[in-house]
Amino acid sequence: MSRVSRLDGTRFGPWALVTGASSGIGRGFAEQLAANGINVVLAARRLSTLDEIGQELAQRHGIEFRTVRADLSRPDFMDTVIEATRDLDIGLVVSNAGDMVMGEFLASPADALVDEARLNVDAHLLLTHHFGQRLARRGRGGLLLVSSTAALQGVPYSANYAASKSYVFTLGQALHHELAAAGVHVTVLLPGATATPMLGRFGADKTAMGRLAMPVDACVADALKALRANRAVRVSGFMNRLLLVTTPRSARTRLMGALSKTMAARLVTPV
């Protein structure tokens, strides 16, 4: 971990909840929060992986950790999360867990699309509602919602994903203003291509996208810096921000749709 963004443990600690913490950007958040001396609650489906990560962070940074086995695409996941955090002073929630169904919308199984929507929409809704109330009563803290640059236009061949991430984007923007008076920082992170296991899953790690992907630690450090400054929205990476400024929305739809179509084909035809 080469880049760490400093965060005030008095405001955003002593405990932080990170969903999707077993890999990728979620794991990156857990690492940087622990480096700031903030105790972490790690939530994901793979409990053994979470335990390994928590033990490593505790040994390296002297923090406490708690792991929660939860499938955030299931309607009852909040019962588990609430019970696991009831006795903790949560100062920050990083609502990061998400997934992507790639391919033609009409050819995708309906139940897979529903699960994707539950994970990418419902989970963020329920987490922000419950913990937003707790943080508002506390009078300080933060919510950091992980969306995607896919949220800023329709994306063929990952249409449901882009639509669900758009919900997270607009929800976070609105809550940034609603919760400001309560002393709660709310920031939405919009990552572009980031060097996570998801790129490998779609074979994009061997393409130009993979070579240009932003390192996880840089993406996370950028997000925590934006949260500290209480910025409503942060698009990670200079090139991503430049693309949004210089490329019309319709052109981004075509460009990102072509990339999604290529990655979907890789799922069917391994390279």
> Residue 91: CB partners within 8 Å, gap ≥ 6?
9, 11, 12, 13, 14, 15, 16, 38, 135, 138, 140, 141, 142
Q: What does DSSP assign to residue 98?
A: -
Q: Are 196 and 24 in contact (CB under 8 A)?
A: yes
Q: Are 24 and 94 in contact (CB under 8 A)?
A: no
- In whole angstroms, what is the distance from residue 10 CA to residue 224 CA? 15
Catalytic residue (choose from 161, 167, 225, 261)? 161
- In whole angstroms, what is the distance from residue 13 CA to residue 59 CA? 19
- In whole angstroms, what is the distance from residue 125 CA to residue 65 CA? 24
Q: Are 119 and 84 in contact (CB under 8 A)?
A: no
| Tokens (6 digits) for 257 | 């749709």
Largest separation between any pair of C-alpha atoms in the chain? 52
| Tokens (6 digits) for 22 | 């077993």
- In whole angstroms, what is the distance from residue 53 CA to residue 215 CA? 19
| Tokens (6 digits) for 230 | 């209480």
| Tokens (6 digits) for 156 | 């063929």
Residue 206 annotated to the active site: no
The SS3 call for residue 222 is helix
- In whole angstroms, what is the distance from residue 29 CA to residue 219 CA? 9
Residue 261 annotated to the active site: no
Catalytic residue (choose from 165, 167, 206, 225)? 165
Q: Kindly list the catalytic residues.
A: 161, 165
